[in-house]
Structures are given as structure tokens and as C-alpha cells.
Structure 1
Amino acid sequence: MHKLTYLILTLLLATPATAQDVEGFFGDIKQRLADREYLKIRGRAGARLGYNYFDDGGSGARPRNAPFTWNANAGLNFDLLGMQLPFSAAISSRNTLYNLPSYSFIGLSPTYKWITLHGGDRSLTFSPYSLSGINFRGGGFELKPGNFYVAAMRGKLRRARIQDITAIQSGLDTRYRRMATGVKFGFDNQEGTAATVSWFSSKDELEGTTDSLRRIQPEANMVLTFSGSHRLSSLVSFNVEYAQSALTRDVNSPQLADPDGRLNLFGLFDARTTTGSANAYNGSVVFSPEFATFDVKYERIAPGYRTHGSLFFQNDVERITTGARAPLFDNKLNLTASVGFQRNNLNGDQAENLNRFIGNVNASWKVSDRVTNTFGVSNFTTTNRLRTINQANQIVDSIVIAQTQFSAKAGTTVLLREDGSQTLFANASFQRADLIREDEVQGDQRSNFVLAMVGYNLKPKDGNYGLNATLLFHRNETAVVNLSSVGPTLGYQRTMLAEKLTLRVSSTYSFTSTSFRDPALGGTDRASLVQVNGGLGYELGEKQSIDLNTSLISAATTDFRPGYTDGQISLQYGLSF
């Protein structure tokens, strides 16, 4: 910890003395005291209680929910003499049927002037190469005096183990805890020149058990980053970023006697025999005339580059692209496009080389005042959280982490009436993705997701009711099985009692077909499902509401799957102030 303490003190001492404007800092507090405005509270809070009824009808189907469930959430902001104290919390009961644990997310981030403190479940972003897109449970702070920025964090990273791209998640509680610490320092003159440096470190620690067989290999990671940007003129600017990451795959392995600076990160990291080091960097030049924006980008991520500060990070990749963004034809067509090349096997030690053309195009075309079309296609590699298809006999969503290699989308919206009270729309999308498990891309678990929808909305401007109808098609193709689902949905909503009471009714019919690629696993299974939802919402006052929601699902029995009847009812209370 002495290295961390030294680094934090160094960064804090770099903060200029001009930030210590004590009179200006406390000026607002004096005014609030004089006005007797000591505390202001704004925000929202809510709670939900649910009951689930399940009847398998002798089929042997498994219930999808616990009989009783509950959750509560709050997002509040306490203004104490000008100090902002935003508080957020979410708590849920445990669903033992599908091994989903109870959760609680509670965080507080008090802010006054340029000082922000973080406590509980929070998130900070240092760099896409170090800490980004992941929460931590712990504490931290951010200081923004003038043109300077200082941030630090210490906490436990939460991480889910992904099991199968087509299965319900299980075993979400990890067998170890991953503790992380980080510091970031930055400068921005608000005129186009900025620079940041950051240090991020994490280490795995077994939690509540011992590992005598050493089946678990705890890891340690440290990442140093630097980024900078500068505007040369009103037309030209550039950005650069560099990161060096050292990763030990087993902290119990022997320590290296004389590691080089690349492995021990200039003496900050304890290098061992299982330690590896890799770098990542990118740069871009942006040209911005009045009529459009053009850019050229280069990125290289060395083989083996990893960071504990992200759920997944792609490595062994190099790409160079050029892009443009421009409004055309009097802003009727807005076009964004990027093209380039990408390759892997940067060290030349892999059996296969991948050199491919990459590009993406996104367009929005306003054909007329009533018709708007959108289109997009991309084969850039990205990391996404995807939701697998709902199966007919168990409607339980499964969220997985996957790497998308190709995606396409298209849509159109037509206003049937000028006032927008009647709308017709159609959308379609396609994604091809591979499952990511334990930081490894599973090429043999590729899925193709297809989604298509057409619909109609009716909402008279002077009416107190609305009607919607949609037809949805969803298909998920995997290496083992193909799942398809198609069906219509009808919905109706109406407000009554001076718009204090809202009635909601909807009905869905879904026909699902499952076919196994291997005949030994089974043939083709077809099933149907009917779902009816109803709800009543009542405003108790300007800031209070209560909602009663019901759902009834009936799934038919097939040769391969048991049928069931599932009924749910929930009561929800909300308060805003």
C-alpha cells in the first residue's frame, strides 16, 4: 500500500493552489444559512411485492419463479446546504429455483462544488484499456478543481461466470473476490488540449474457503495508461492513448528475481513466473469543416492484453479506419460511415491469419414529413450483453456476454395522420455473435439472432385511450439447436377518473419451433403459448402511485416439453418528491 499512498500524494500535490479559494467555496453555504434553506430532498422510491401461482397439470414442468418475491429501489438526492448527496439503492429477494441470488445495490455520491465522494456500489471510468464498464463495491472520490481532475477508487469488482449462451445462468456468486484500486489524474484547458494518466491494480482473494487442491488460480493485474488530445486549429485535432498491462495468472507462482520494466511496470508490480505483459494504443486525427466531419483512426491491441477492469477485452488485433459524418440534402439524409482493414496474429505465432475488410454504415433518411427510414450495417467486432430467446415452456431471460462480429438493422416509420395519432412501423435486425466464457471467445458456440417486427399504434390527440398491435418474429440459431418464435400482441390502455386511473390490457400468442441439428438429440418440437397481462395504475396524489399487475401464461404440452399454467400478481408502490 505504500506505493499507492505515494502515488496518491504525488497527484494531490500536483493540484494547483488556485483551487483553494476558500471564500468562494463556502459562499453558497453562507447564503443558504441566511435563507434558512438547510435541506432539500428530491428523488423517487418504490417497492414491489409479488405472488406466483404455478400448476404443471401433472406434466412435471418446473416452476420459473419462487412463490413470493419482492424488491425495493430508491434514487434520492439530498441537498444539504448546497452539498449534493445522491443516493441509490436496489434490493431483491432470492430466486432459489434458478439459482439467482438476492442482490442489493446501494451507493452514495455526495458532491459539493468540485468534490465528489463515492461509497457503496459505484462505477468510474479511467480508460477503455483499464477500468471501464464494470461496477465496484467500495469507495472513491473525484476532484475537479479548475482545469484539473483527480480520481481514486478502492473496492470489490463483481463478476458473473457465464455458463452457456442458450441456458439460464447459474452460479453467479464467484468463489473469490477481486479487490481493485485505481488512481487517475487529468488536465483539460477547455480549449482543445487535455491529458490524463491512470494506474489501476487488482488481485483475486479467496472468500470464505480454502483451495488446498489449487483448482483456482487467483490472478493479479496492473494497468498504466496515458492519453492526450490537442486541437491544432478549428479544422484539425488529434487524440492518442497508450496502455501497458501486466497480468499474473497465478499469484502463488514463484516470484521473478530480476524482471524487466515491461513485466514489473517500473517497480510497481510484483512480477512472477506466470506474469505476462502487453500494450495497447490508439490514435486518431479529426478534420472538421463546416459541412462534415472526417477522421482517420489506428488501434493496436497486443496479443494477451487483458484488464480486470472490464468484463471482456479483445486482444491480438490491429485496425486502421477512416470515417465521415455528414448531413446531406438539407438534413433529410444523415449519414455516418467508416471503412478500413483489420488483422490478427500480430506476433506471427498463430496457425491462422485473419485479414478482413471492416466497415459500418448508419443512415437516417427523412423521405417526407410522414416517412422516416433508418438503416445500419457493421462488421466491427464489439462486446455486448445479449438476451437469448424465450423458450415456450419456460419464459426466463438469460443474459450472456458475447462478441458480435456482424450486425445489420433496418426500419421505417410512417405517420398515417399528420398529428401523429396513428403510426405504422417495421423493424428488423440481425446479429452474429460468439459466447465469451472466462475471458475466452468460444468459437464453437456461435449464435445468429434474427428479430423482425411490424406494428401499429393508435393514440388520438384528444382521446383518453390507446391501441397497439405488433407481430414479432424471433430466431436464434446455434451450433446445437435452432429456436424460432412468432406471434402477435394486442394492447389497449385507457385513462379514467380525470386521468388518475390507468387501465392496461395486453394479450400475446407465441408459436415456437425447436429443431436440433443432431438427429440423435431429437427431432423438431413445436409448442404454443398464450400470455394475458392486465394492470391498473392509480395516482394517489401528484407524487404517489400504486400499480396492480397480473399475468397469466398457458403453455401447451408437446412430445418433448411439459406444459404448465403460470399466474403472477404483483403490487407496486411508487413515491416521488
Structure 2
Amino acid sequence: MYYNGTANREPFTYFLNGNLNFNISGIYNIPLSFSYTNQDFAYSTPFKINRLSIHPSYKWVATHIGDVAMTFSPYTVSGHQFTGFGTDLTPNGPFKISALYGRFLKATEYNSEVPEAIPAYKRMGYGLKTSYDFNRFNIGLIFFKAKDEASSLEIPIPDNLNIDPKENLVISLASSVEITKGLNFNLEVAQSAVTENLNDDETDANSNPLGFFINEKASTDYYTAFNADITYSFGKGSLGIGYERIDPQYRTFGAYFFNNDLENITANATQELFNGRVSLALNAGLQRDDLKNEKESQSNRVVAALNTNIKASDRFNIAASYSNFQSFTNIRTAFDIINEVDPVETLDTLDFKQVSQNASLNLGYILSQSKRKQQNIGLNLTYQTTKDEQGTADETNNQTDFYNLGANYSIAYPENALTINGAVNAAYNVIEENDALTYGPTLSINKQFFDKKLRTGFSASYNQSLANGTSQGNVTNFRANTGYVYKEKHNLNLNALALFRNNTSTASANDFTVTLGYSYSFDVKKPDLRFRKRDPNSSNDKKNTKKSKDTLQQLEEKLDKQNYYRFRYRGIIYEGNANKVADQIETISNQEYFDKKEAFGVSKLQNELVELKQKAVLDEDFKNLAIDFLDSIYVRKDYIPVYQNILRSTLSSLRKELVNKDQQMKDVYAKAKFELENHPLHTLSEAERNAASEEAQFEYMKIYTKYEVEGEKFEAYLFLRIEVDQLLKGNKVIANSDHIKNIKERTQEATFRMYSEKKDLEKINIYLEEQIIIYFDELYRSSDN
């Protein structure tokens, strides 16, 4: 990557990453993943940047070695990266076990010359998760412990930073019961012991049973989290109630962040109506905070989340949602992506939370859809109001309202591999008495050449910014990209970005970035041992063909002429007149495919079967039509295990990619936080801040908004990562997951067509990964987060 601009970064950087899987004899799997960069960050962090991990597996034994992450439950270990060893043992029996051991934070020395560098003690941790399934009753126990090494730092940390060596112990008990068919009860109780300073004196109080597993100090406190729900499923709907209570300051060193100091009592319901054209999901209840009566005021409110999707017609789709649940929420506008300079720029979020209300409306309409031309228009509107609760001072708890509006139009010419997109976006933010508006258009064109091996694209955008009605400047950028696939294995990509910033208060700034990428995908193919077919035109083959026509073949040819059919297909003999053979095909199709829960494209095939039976009445070329239909049935049946392997491979690869990106998600937000905390207006009161110049207020508002909005990237990343991780148990796909069923419905028919045409597994993997990401992104945006 080459960069020339105003940002404080190296002109040349490179990134290497890879995912390899060694399969031995079709039994042993040894996945390996790694990432490396020469990116020179301004200061060291307790998190690793360059990573290497390997995941050997054998049957029901899966191991994770190196820089990895595991998830036990939301209240114990949930996606926190560590360097060490983990294992998942999932035999066919009722007993399952997972374990981990490793370094959760590396030692980071204090550097007085770099105040933004946060020092940290080396933190080691280990955990164990066990579960036992009694058919309709399941019980599990989780144990996790992490401890800082006080001797891991040589340079003393100043007392004013309030950073001390800590220790954490978490024990969780989880259970699920199928009371009766469709009625399920789930429960998890977790207790966390946190010692804030290991240098404190020990106590003999043993005020909690966890005190037997931890050296109780004067600064040791105990926190509890409780979650229970009961759900009844019926037809295409469900009803349920839930209760959740999380003590103030509850936390675990096995997770990055989550809400605490809250109590929720909720009821939920889902229902599909009108043959699935309308789906509704409602979650409503009561929420309160200040569980220990320690705050100046207590918040009691009615909470609700409503999601609806309406397929008004085959062309028109409506999706709407609303939520006012307390959650970690960050706002991100389209302009964060449009004006992003670094194409590999990701971010992390630190421990912050917000109370928020969210509402969204998405409209999509297909103007035309044919082989020659496809047109779509869309409109999306989101509203969110937040109150930052990270700080303790009242002046930091500002309420912010965000309005985002986007309209887009796309036209595609599939036969010419050409797509044109146009969009207009607007973002309006209101912070106390100040407001900011950003708006502008975007145009992009994508074209593929040489049988879609060469991909090209160009986009241009312009956005204007105003603060309290006064223009603050504009940003114009141009992007160009091209990619070429050579022999299906080599993928070359070249991207260029030119961005021009015009600011009314500061000097103009320009950024230019060029990124060159190369990826290679390889596998070890089995040798093709099939013999070549003989040339039927050769004289010898003509003689052999004539000899090979035995009595049965001659009889079949004769019977065909007499409206009587007899042929063999996959070991089954179909015999009789056209109607009888059609009935036999229907029976076999039901047994072999239609009655299987894994079947896909059923409605299409059933229509083809109806047409086949109509042809049987007319007796038009019936035998060939019958064989063609059987081909359609069995080729789909044969594809099911292929798809399962592709799906497992894609999910595993995506999970590794997400794990590898973990550290990359940690720097942008930290930088935004640093800029906010070091801005001169940040430490002022609200009145003092309002008395500052408009330019200073606007600059602070931009930094503050960026600090808030940047986090949504990480939240979406974490949501995707947790969901993908939950779909894979060991290295196996959870087949009964609703998400898996939905993903199959979205992708199985399309991937089947791709497989039938060219058997290009690489393209199928790329398409499937994109669809999985899109699916969970839609789920994330429509959820209450």
C-alpha cells in the first residue's frame, strides 16, 4: 500500500495473511492461519498485531493453537483473543468439553513520552467448559480464571493512571430443558469475582463461595448475572418470556465489553403471516437500572423492539424496526465509508455504553428483472438517539440525535456484465444545541471483461458539510479498482483513491492511496482416473457398438415405439406406459428427494413433475423428458453433501478471517478516543464549551461524533463473529440452527447453478461468504443490539 497525504502514517506498508488447511487421508484436518504487517503504530498496545494460528482436528477432536479466540457464553468467555492453546471435544455421546489456556494481554511498559500508550500487565488465563446432554435436559458448567502478573513490568506505572494488577474468576451454570414438544426453558447463572488490586492485603472473610478459588483481597468484589427464558414454538410462530439481571460493574476478563447494572423483564413473540410474506417479531417489557440504589436517580422504562418484514409483492419489499433497549451502540453514516482513506482501515471500541433508541425503515423495489436488464431502487431511513454513559461527569452525558437518509438506484446489464449505481445520502446530527448536516451524491460503475475474469470499477462522490447552517467545507473523492483472475487460482487487485478535502477553517488536504493485492488459492486435486470415451465414429467402435446391443437393448428400442417404456436409471428399472412410468417417477422422487428435509428447489421441481405428467398424456418424447427430470432430481441430491462441505469450509474460513482481523479492529477507535480526550474543549463544562468559538465547537463536535460513530464497525464485526462462531461446533456446522436454514434458503439454489455451470468452488465460496455477511448484517441492523 502506498499513501501520500496528511495523515501520520508510513508511505509504504504491507499486509500478509493466509488460511491453509492440510487434509490427510480425508480424516485429519490441520487448518493454519496467519497475519503479518509492517505497519508501524505510534505506540505499543497490550494486543497482538501479527498473528499465527493453527487448528488441527481429528474426528471429534478440534484444537486451536496460537493467536486464537473462543466463546463459552456471553457472561464468561466471549470472543476475547488470547495466545495459547484451546480444544473442543465433541464426541457423539452426551458429554462435551472445551478448554483453553493462554495469554490474554501482553506486558506493555509505561512510556512517559507517549501518554496515549496504555500500559498493561501480562495477563494469563485458563478456562473449562463442560456439558452433559440427558436427551431432553442439558446442563453445563463453565470455569474461567485470569490473573495479571505484577512482576511482568519493569517500569513502575504512575499512581494517577489507576492501573493495578488484577484477577478475575468466573463460574457459570447453564441448563436447557425441553419441557414438552415446542416448549423450551433456558437458564444461565454466572458469578464473577474481580480483584481490583493484587497488591492489597488478603482477607479471611470468605464472604462468597468463590472465595475458595481465589485469594480474596480487600479490593475483591463479587458480581452476578442471571438470564432465564421460556419459549413455546407453534406452527410458524413462537411466544416467550425472559428475565435478565446483571449486577452493576459486572465484567469478565474473557470478554471485551457488555452491559451491566440492568434488569429486564420481557415478553417476545414472532409470527409469519400470509404464507411467509409478512414476518413480525416483538420483544417488549420493563427495564430498570441502579439495582443497588447507588445513583442519584433510577431509570425505569418500558422497553420494546419491533421488527417487521413485508414482501408486498414479488418486486416490493418493506422492512421496519424499532428498539429502545439499552445497548452498546455506535452511529456510523455512509460517509464514514465514502470518505475512508485506508481500504484496510478497521477499528476497535473500548469499554463504553449508551442508552439508545433506534428506528429504521427500508424500502426496496425491483423496477425490472430480465436477462438483458435489471433495475432496482431503494430508500432507507434511520433514526437514533443516544446518551453516552461512559463518563461520570454530567457534561459528558450529552444526548445526540442522528438521522440518516439514503436513496439509491441501480441498473445492471447481466449479458454485458455492466452495473451502474447512483445514490444520494444525508446525515443530520443534533448534539444539544448544535447540529451538523452532511449530504452528497455517489456514482459508481462496474464492468467485467474476458468472461468475467477482469473486473473493473470506478466511483465518484461529493459531500458537503454544514454546522448550524454554516458551510464547513466539502470532500470529493474518486476511486478506481481492477481485479484479474488467472487460471482460477491467482487473483490480482489494484485500487486507487484520490480524496480532496476543502475546509473553511483549516488548510485544504489531499490524500492519495494505491493498494496492490495478490491472493492465491490452491488445493490438491485428486487425479482424474476416468477413461476417455471412445470415438463412436471410428470403424472399430461402430462394430463394438453394434455387438454391444444385447437383446434387452433391442427390446427397449422396440417397446419405445409401442408406447411402452423400459429403462434403468441409477439401479432402478422404470417400466410401463407413459402414465405408469410418470407415477413411478413421482413415487421415487418423493422417497429420494422431496420428503427429505435437506431438499431444495422443491417447488420448481414439483412444477417440472406436473409438466412431465402432462407430457405423459401427450406422449411427446416422454423417455428423454423423464430422464432429464430424474437428472434434475439426483443432481440436486448429489449436490447436498457438496454444499454442506462448501458451507462448512466457508464458515470456517470466515471465522478465521474474523479472528485475524481482531487486532486490526483496535486502533482507529483508540485514536478517535485519544483525539477527543486531548481536545481543549473536552475537559470544559458545557457552558464553557458553548462560549468557545464556533470553529472550535464544530471541530470538537466532529471529533466527538467520530468517537461515537466509529464503534458501530466493531459492533457489527463482533456480532458477525459471535454468530458465525455459534454456527460452528468444533469444525461442524450446527445443522438445526435457524440461521443455517435461512442461509440455505438464500444460497443453495444459486450456488447449485454456479456449481452446475462451471464447478468453480472458489467463486462459490466467495459468493457464499458474501451472502453470509449480508445475512448477518441485515440481522444485526434489524435487531435490538
- Fold-level match, TM-score > 0.5? yes
How has the CA–CA distance of structure 1 residues 434 and 469 changed in structure 2, closer, same or farther, with 3 Å as cutoff? same
- The answer as to 2:183 corresponding to 1:236 is yes
Task: Confirm whether residue 140 of structure 1 aligns to residue 91 of structure 2.
Answer: no
Give secondary structure in 2 for the equivalent of 1:124: strand
2:328 to 383, 387, 398: 383
Q: Is the CA contact (8 Å cut-off) linking 1:385 and 1:399 kept in structure 2? A: no
The residue that corresponds to 2:421 in the other structure is 468
Deviation at 1:105, TM superposition (A): 2.7
Which of 197, 217, 227 in structure 2 is aligned with 1:250?
A: 197
Report the residue type matching 1:528 in the other structure: N
Task: Tell me how far 1:76 sits from its aligned partner.
Answer: 1.7
Q: 2:147 aligns with which of 203, 206, 211?
A: 203
Measure how far apart 1:291 and its partner are: 3.8
Q: CA deviation at 1:498?
A: 2.7
Shift of 1:345: 2.4
Question: Cα distance 1:395–1:498, how it changes in 2: closer, same or farther (>3 A)?
Answer: closer
Q: 1:400 aligns with which of 335, 339, 349?
A: 349
Aligned pair partner of 2:404 in 420, 445, 451:
451
- The answer to whether the aligner puts 1:319 opposite 2:264 as a matched pair is yes
Contact 1:435 1:441 in 2 (8 A): no
Q: RMSD in angstroms over aligned alpha carbons?
A: 3.1
The amino acid of 1:400's aligned partner reads T
Deviation at 1:72, TM superposition (A): 1.3
1 CA distance for matches of 2:320 and 2:56?
Answer: 42
For residues 201 and 566 of structure 1, what CA distance do their matches in structure 2 show?
A: 46
C-alpha separation in 2, matches of 1:377 and 1:93: 43
How many Å apart are 1:565 and its aligned residue? 2.0
Q: CA 1:386/1:118 → structure 2, altered by over 3 Å: closer, same or farther?
A: farther
Distance, in Å, in 2 between the alignment partners of 1:440 and 1:511 is 33
Cα distance in structure 1, aligned partners of 2:462 and 2:43: 25
> Which SS does the other structure have where 2:75 is aligned?
coil
Aligned 8 A contact 1:228 1:241 in 2: yes
CA drift of 1:235 comes to: 2.8
Could you say if the C-alpha distance between residues 171 and 459 of structure 1 is closer, same or farther in structure 2, counting changes exceeding 3 Å?
A: farther
Deviation at 1:375, TM superposition (A): 0.3
> Where is the strand percentage greater, Structure 1 or Structure 2?
1
Q: C-alpha distance in 2, partners of 1:529/1:379?
A: 34
Cα pair 1:321 1:340 within 8 Å, conserved: yes
Q: Note closer, same or farther for the CA distance 1:417–1:213 as it changes in structure 2 (3 Å cut).
A: closer
- Larger mean Cα displacement after TM superposition, 232-241 or 149-158: 149-158
Give the TM-score normalised by the residue count of structure 1: 0.80
Q: 1:423: which partner in 2?
A: 376
Query: Are 2:462 and 1:509 aligned?
Result: yes
Q: What residue is the counterpart of 1:540 in the other structure?
A: 486
Q: Give CA deviations for 1:349-388 in whole Å, capped at 9, x if unaligned.
A: 4321111000100000011110000000001112246558
The share of aligned pairs that are identical, in percent, is: 26
Q: Distance in 2 between matches of 1:227 and 1:102?
A: 32
Describe the shift of the 1:456–1:160 C-alpha distance in structure 2 as closer, same or farther (beyond 3 A): farther
Q: Is the 8 A contact 1:400 1:435 kept in 2?
A: no
User: How far apart are 1:314 and its partner, in Å?
Assistant: 2.1
Return the letter of the residue paired with 1:253. D
Residue 197 of structure 2 contacts residue 219 of structure 2 at CA under 8 Å; is this kept in 1?
Answer: yes
1:391 to 1:492, Cα distance in 2 relative to 1, 3 A: closer
| Aligned residue in 2 for 1:47 | none
2:255 to 293, 302, 310: 310
Aligned twin of 2:18:
74
> Contact between 1:459 and 1:466, CA under 8 Å: does it hold in 2?
yes
Structure 1 residue 357 corresponds to structure 2 residue 296: no
1:379–1:407 contact (8 Å) kept in structure 2: yes
The change in CA–CA distance for 1:287 and 1:553 in structure 2 (over 3 A counts) is same
AA at the equivalent of 2:353: Q
Matches within 5 A, 1:20-419: 50-54=1-5, 62-63=6-7, 65-81=9-25, 82-96=27-41, 103-145=49-91, 146-158=93-105, 171=116, 174-189=119-134, 191-205=135-149, 207-211=152-156, 213-214=158-159, 215=161, 216-262=163-209, 265-384=210-329, 387=332, 390=336, 399-401=348-350, 402-404=352-354, 405-419=356-370
The alpha carbon displacement at 1:184 in A equals: 0.9
Quote the offset at 1:443 in angstroms: 5.4
**AA of the residue aligned to 1:534:** A
Contact 2:280 2:307 (C-alpha < 8 Å) held by counterparts: yes
- 540 and 391 in structure 1: CA distance in 2 versus 1, 3 angstrom threshold: closer
Q: Which has the higher contact order (CA 8 A, sep 6+)?
A: 1
Query: C-alpha distance in 2, partners of 1:413/1:95?
Result: 44
How far has the Cα of 1:278 moved from its partner?
1.7
For the residue of structure 2 that corresponds to 1:526, the secondary structure is: strand
How far residue 530 of structure 1 moved from its aligned partner, in angstroms, is 1.0
Alignment check: 8 A CA contact 1:393 1:564 kept:
no
Among candidates 521, 526, 542, match of residue 576 of structure 1: 521
2:625 corresponds in structure 1 to none
**Pairwise CA distance, 1:257:** 2.2
Amino acid at match of 1:276: D
Confirm or deny: 8 A CA contact 2:227 2:245 kept in the other structure.
yes
Q: TM-score, normalization: structure 2?
A: 0.60
**Alpha-carbon contact 1:181-1:200 (below 8 Å) kept:** yes
Would the alpha carbon gap of residues 203 and 415 (structure 1) be closer, same or farther in structure 2, given more than 3 Å must change? same
User: Residue 185 of structure 2 contacts residue 231 of structure 2 at CA under 8 Å; is this kept in 1?
Assistant: yes
- Which one has the bigger helix percentage? 2
Contact 1:385 1:400 in 2 (8 A): no
Structure 1 residue 315 displacement after superposition: 2.0
**2: CA distance between counterparts of 1:342 and 1:461?**
51
1:471 and 1:371, CA in 2 relative to 1: closer, same or farther beyond 3 A?
same
What is the CA–CA distance in structure 1 between the aligned matches of 2:330 and 2:167, rounded to whole Å? 25
Amino acid in structure 2 at the alignment position of 1:176: Y
Partner of 1:166: none
- Measured in 1, the distance between the counterparts of 2:407 and 2:117 equals 36
**SS of alignment partner, residue 296 of structure 1:** strand
Mapped partners of 1:440, 1:225: distance in 2: 34
Distance of 1:108 and 1:224 partners within structure 2: 28
Contact in 1 for aligned 2:206/2:212 (Cα 8 Å)? no
Please name the residue that 1:564 is paired with. Answer: 509
Match of 1:40 in 2: none
SS of structure 2 residue aligned to 1:320: strand
**2:414 match: secondary structure:** coil
Question: How far off its partner does 1:95 sit?
Answer: 4.5
Note the residue ranges of structure 2 that are not aligned, 5 or more in a row.
109-113, 523-785
Give the secondary-structure state (helix, strand or coil) at the position aligned to 1:462.
Answer: helix
The 3 A distance-change label for structure 1 pair 484 and 192 is farther
With over 3 angstroms needed to count, the CA separation of the structure-2 counterparts of 1:122 and 1:300, relative to structure 1, is: same
Q: 1:54-104 CA deviation, whole Å, 9 max, x = no partner?
A: 3xxxxxxx3354211111111221112311112222222225479999821
Shift in CA distance, 459/512, structure 1 to aligned 2, threshold 3 Å: same
Amino acid in structure 2 at the alignment position of 1:551: L
- 8 Å contact kept, 1:138–1:155: yes
Give the whole-Å Cα distance in 2 for the aligned partners of 1:175 and 1:441.
29
Change (3 A) 1:237 1:443: farther
- Between 315-324 and 362-371, the greater mean CA deviation after superposition: 315-324
CA contact (8 A) 1:138 1:154 kept: yes
